[in-house]
A and B are shown apart, each in its own frame.
Chain A
Amino acid sequence: MPKLTVDGIEVEVEDGATVLQACEEAGAEIPRFCYHERLSIAGNCRMCLVDMERAPKPVASCAMPAGDGMVISTKSERVKKAREGVMEFLLVNHPLDCPICDQGGECDLQDQAMGYGHDASRYSENKRAVSEKHMGPLIKTVMARCIHCTRCVRFSTEVAGVADLGAIGRGEGVEITTYLEKTLASELSANVIDLCPVGALTSRPYAFVARPWELNKVESIDVSDAMGANIRIDARGNQVLRVLPRLNEDINEEWISDKARYAIDGLRRQRLDKPYLRGTDGRLHPARWDDAFAAIAGQMKKTKADKMAAIAGDQIDAEAMFALKSLFEKLGSPHIDCRQDGAKLTAKNRASYIFNTTIAGIDEADAIVIIGSNPRIEAPVMNARIRRLYLNKQVPIAHIGPELDLTYPVEHLGDDLAVLETLASGKHPLAKQLKKAKKPMIIVGMGALRRADGGAVMALCHQLADATGMVNADWNGFNVLHHAAARVAGLDLGLVPGKGGKDVQGILSASSKGEMDFVWLLGADELDTDLLAKPFVVYQGHHGDKGAQCADVVLPGAAWAEKDGLYVNFEGRVQMARRAAFPPGDAREDWAILRAFSETINKTLSFDSLSELRDEMVAAAPVFATLDEIQPAKWSKFGRAAKLKSEPVEAGLDEFYMTSAISRASETMAECYQATLAGKSAIAAE
């Protein structure tokens, strides 16, 4: 471990650290544009120059390995002058358009020019003009502002695994562009906007919308997938304007997916802002809360508890699900379910439905088998972690399911689950590799678990995990990859059919046969609603999506950004999403709606406030007691051995952009969807 002196302070840094990292260790701030902790070192902006003893010139600290006995000065007159020189050259061709630049106020170049810039330019020549580049519906380019730090190029090549960005030309003529100006085809593409230190790459949907200092910033959790990325929601007044990633080394590091970032314009469209009642003319008419409640209560009075069912959707907070479950327990109905897609998961054994390895644990794995999942669209940020694992250690990665481009090479074992049997019995050549591996892991997606033989898949995975030694005292390699943000919390709370209760398929088929008279949909839209024509349907949710269209009574709820709510990510980590805006019109928080309604049918729920609800919830499900931490789950038996069906296994999701009521209402997501369709048909046409 080299020891060096920075501005008179002695520091010891790890082997392989750079001088820049050593300077930061010593508390010296080093200005930089091209250097980024999570990307490879480019060393091309020269802003991080420092003085090194016995060196003839200032050195670029980001590209200089820290050596024993180095004496570094970051504050000398020469350093200041050198950096001022670099800044002056950077500004030769940088337009002075800060007043109309969206990066203004949060621009690295602007900030650092305050420290190292001159008050006036010495150049009278014309500045370089660069044409705008097309990069798709999310990224707006003003390439004349580009300072060629190549962060975006390195991000897309290294992290996103889509090497479409590059720099063409040379010298003063260098320009950053995508290959032939096609759309940047990555689910993580918009992270280049955060990486861009200037205003060259800015957010297209957010263009000219707001200045950073006008925004209220709320630290929250993303629910567009089940990873629970930490985000910051920026709102002005009652409008959610943008979402940015928040650093969390254990989950999303500092990236978020494009859907997490841009589906928010869906919060402004197709919203349910007042209760609706279906009239005798078959249309939904606006109503008062009292009338809506009375209509539901009237129907409930006529219905036996055994003919009532409830289904919770994929983006519902734990509190609302708990309130729904409490209500149906009071009613005496066992027909309740949170597994809209029919995943054969049980609530009994926590290890059977969470991502036991944890996301950070992926970094240690040395062999991976992915079954019936497309992590690239089901959890894009986690997929980038698997890609990094592959780049660092070239671990073997196998995949059972349709052929996919996961941004890293995989051994494709076909889409027949029979191969899982040969793997579990040790007959497959890969089984030996898994056995030899110290930290192997399997990732099972909903594509494999929502099948009728999902129980058998679970049993086989258990067998495979045991046979290859995937589970021991300090490693659990069995992982379920969810893509519904509410699913793990739902299972933790036991939103599964009670004794003699029907699951989602059972409820739907009973409804179509007329054996179910009352169905309560709590934000459940990913269902075949045609089957719900006969029963009386209550839809409680925030968007006029599929569920609301088949409902007899619509109760307007708050979306995830409009309430404080607990979510459990697929690792089993409880996190709190916070309110950034208020729900529109008469819409209310979901738990409060359920609480208020319970009173009208004289089955009053026992909590009067969110904190009382949470106390009860923690008593019922103790995992909710600790925020932000994962409780390791005990490994025990699960699954039910049975014969596998011979149909091919699918991925959990086959489309990234439009997967929930919010993202389906989003114009930006629709544009992205169209752009990928256009990209796909262009490839098909070739």
Chain B
Amino acid sequence: MSIQTLIAEDQPEHFAFDKESEKEIKKAISKYPEGRQASAVKSLLYIAQKQNDNWIPVKAIEEIAKRLEMAEMRVLEVASFYSMFNLKPVGKYYLQACGTTPCMLRGSDDVMRCIKDKLNISSGETSACGKFSLLEVECLGACVNAPILQVNDDFYEDLDYQATKELLEALEADNQPAIGSVMGRQGSEAEGGATTLKAAKRSGKKT
């Protein structure tokens, strides 16, 4: 990964934090003691990414370095270390597909195949229409409802080939479906509804 492939070729000329971001920055920096403001680097990168359509331009890195009195290189190191920070523009819908063992056992390969069939993109690529980007990530921490596809900040769970296809079609029409399990289960209860404790009443009495 040379620097040319790491960061976007077309960079904006300027970057400035907006009012809302400024508020959050103040809050993030105030969490750390005087002289330790560099600890807020990840928060600031996240704020910059949120403000700038889910990616961080070089100018933002330099702005953050200036604010936190860090070397620009140190900020770039942090930004390039975490896969959650995008240094290149991504589509409106940023798909993060989990491929770690539980998701893989539950069919994440089908999810990935569906994305490939539908959008013709692999991990790290953006679709021709520019609306979707895909990244294969490690565990998203929702293994009980595997496999998972994260769309921007939201989780879609219990996916299979067909459900993924429907999800992508809905997103394509900018008609985002309800988040959570696509088979409609509550939280992580058993498939097909509860099987035990059916008689339990919410009386607080011991059963």
Partner of A166, one of B2, B6, B58, B77: B77
Flag if B3 contacts A177 (CB, 8 Å): yes
Q: Which residues of A contact B1 (CB under 8 A)?
A: 168-169, 173, 175
Q: How close is B100's CB to chain A, nearest CB, in angstroms?
A: 15
A131-B2, A173-B1, A177-B3 known; A166 and B81 CB under 8 Å?
Answer: no
Q: B80 within 8 Å of A by Cβ?
A: yes
- The stretch that binds B, out of A157-165, A268-276, A452-460, A669-677, is A157-165
- The stretch that binds B, out of A11-19, A178-186, A324-332, A600-608, is A178-186
Flag if B74 contacts A168 (CB, 8 Å): no
* 44-91 of chain B: CB within 8 A of chain A: 58, 71-74, 76-77, 80-81
A175-B1, A179-B76, A180-B58 known; A168 and B71 CB under 8 Å?
Answer: no
Flag if A163 contacts B73 (CB, 8 Å): yes
Flag if A164 contacts B80 (CB, 8 Å): no
Flag if A157 contacts B3 (CB, 8 Å): no
Flag if B71 contacts A169 (CB, 8 Å): no
Most buried by A among B2, B71, B72, B73: B73
* 1-30 of chain B: CB within 8 A of chain A: 1-3, 6-7
The tally of residues in B whose CB lies under 8 Å from a CB in A reads 14
Q: How close is A679's CB to chain B, nearest CB, in angstroms?
A: 14
Interface flags, A143-180, vs B, CB<8A=1, else 0? 00000000000000100000111111110010101111
Q: How close is B79's CB to chain A, nearest CB, in angstroms?
A: 9
Interface flags, A308-321, vs B, CB<8A=1, else 0? 00000000000000
Interface flags, A172-202, vs B, CB<8A=1, else 0? 0101011111000000000000000000000
Q: A387 within 8 Å of B by Cβ?
A: no
* 619-652 of chain A: CB within 8 A of chain B: none
Closest chain B residue, CB of each to CB of A180: B3
Give CA–CA (A533, B63) in the complex, Å. Answer: 56
Flag if B74 contacts A169 (CB, 8 Å): no
Partner of A167, one of B3, B6, B77: B77
Most buried by B among A130, A131, A173, A180: A180
Q: A232 within 8 Å of B by Cβ?
A: no
Q: A46 within 8 Å of B by Cβ?
A: no
Partner of A170, one of B58, B74, B81: B81
Q: Which residues of B contact A165 (CB under 8 A)?
A: 73
Flag if A175 contacts B2 (CB, 8 Å): yes
Q: A133 within 8 Å of B by Cβ?
A: yes
Partner of A164, one of B3, B7, B73: B73
Give CA–CA (A170, B82) in the complex, Å. Answer: 8
Flag if B73 contacts A169 (CB, 8 Å): no
Give CA–CA (A179, B74) in the complex, Å. Answer: 9
Give CA–CA (A170, B76) in the complex, Å. Answer: 12
Q: Which residues of B contact A180 (CB under 8 A)?
A: 3, 7, 58, 76
Flag if B6 contacts A169 (CB, 8 Å): yes
Q: Which residues of A contact B72 (CB under 8 A)?
A: 179
Flag if A163 contacts B81 (CB, 8 Å): no
Flag if B73 contacts A166 (CB, 8 Å): yes
Closest chain B residue, CB of each to CB of A130: B2
Q: How close is A54's CB to chain B, nearest CB, in angstroms?
A: 35
Partner of B3, one of A163, A170, A181: A181
Closest chain B residue, CB of each to CB of A173: B1
* 113-156 of chain B: CB within 8 A of chain A: none
Q: Which residues of B contact A173 (CB under 8 A)?
A: 1
Give CA–CA (A166, B80) in the complex, Å. Answer: 11
Q: Secondary structure of the A side of the interface?
A: mixed
A131-B2, A173-B1 known; A168 and B58 CB under 8 Å?
Answer: no
Give CA–CA (A166, B76) in the complex, Å. Answer: 9
Flag if A166 contacts B3 (CB, 8 Å): no
Flag if A163 contacts B71 (CB, 8 Å): yes
Give CA–CA (A166, B74) in the complex, Å. Answer: 7
Give CA–CA (A175, B4) in the complex, Å. Answer: 13
Closest chain B residue, CB of each to CB of A171: B81
Q: How close is A166's CB to chain B, nearest CB, in angstroms?
A: 4
Give CA–CA (A70, B48) in the complex, Å. Answer: 50
Flag if A133 contacts B73 (CB, 8 Å): no
Closest chain B residue, CB of each to CB of A170: B81
Q: How close is A649's CB to chain B, nearest CB, in angstroms?
A: 29
Flag if A178 contacts B81 (CB, 8 Å): no
Give CA–CA (A178, B1) in the complex, Å. Answer: 13
Flag if B2 contacts A178 (CB, 8 Å): no
Q: How close is A134's CB to chain B, nearest CB, in angstroms?
A: 9
Flag if A169 contacts B80 (CB, 8 Å): yes
Give CA–CA (A170, B73) in the complex, Å. Answer: 15
Q: How close is A349's CB to chain B, nearest CB, in angstroms?
A: 44
Closest chain A residue, CB of each to CB of B58: A180
Closest chain A residue, CB of each to CB of B77: A166
Give CA–CA (A179, B72) in the complex, Å. Answer: 7
Give CA–CA (A164, B62) in the complex, Å. Answer: 13
Give CA–CA (A95, B151) in the complex, Å. Answer: 40
Closest chain B residue, CB of each to CB of A166: B73
Q: Which residues of A contact B58 (CB under 8 A)?
A: 180
Give CA–CA (A179, B1) in the complex, Å. Answer: 14
Give CA–CA (A164, B71) in the complex, Å. Answer: 7
Q: How close is A142's CB to chain B, nearest CB, in angstroms?
A: 14
Partner of A178, one of B7, B73, B74, B80: B73
Q: Which residues of B contact A130 (CB under 8 A)?
A: 2
Partner of B6, one of A157, A168, A178: A168
Give CA–CA (A163, B69) in the complex, Å. Answer: 12
Q: How close is B74's CB to chain A, nearest CB, in angstroms?
A: 7
Give CA–CA (A175, B7) in the complex, Å. Answer: 14
Give CA–CA (A173, B82) in the complex, Å. Answer: 12
Closest chain B residue, CB of each to CB of A686: B62
Give CA–CA (A164, B6) in the complex, Å. Answer: 17
Give CA–CA (A505, B6) in the complex, Å. Answer: 58
A168-B6, A180-B58, A181-B3 known; A157 and B71 CB under 8 Å?
Answer: yes
Q: How close is A271's CB to chain B, nearest CB, in angstroms?
A: 41
A163-B74, A178-B73, A179-B76 known; A169 and B81 CB under 8 Å?
Answer: yes
For this complex, 12 residue pairs linking A to B, each with C-beta atoms less than 8 Å apart, are: A157-B71, A163-B73, A166-B74, A166-B76, A167-B77, A168-B1, A168-B3, A168-B81, A173-B1, A175-B1, A180-B58, A181-B3
Q: Which residues of B contact A (CB under 8 A)?
A: 1-3, 6-7, 58, 71-74, 76-77, 80-81
Q: Which 4 residue pairs spanning A and B have beta carbons closest together?
A: A163-B71, A166-B73, A168-B80, A131-B2
Query: Known contacts A168-B80, A181-B3; can you find 13 more A-B pairs with CB under 8 A?
Result: A133-B2, A157-B71, A163-B74, A164-B73, A165-B73, A166-B74, A166-B77, A169-B81, A173-B1, A175-B2, A177-B2, A179-B72, A179-B73
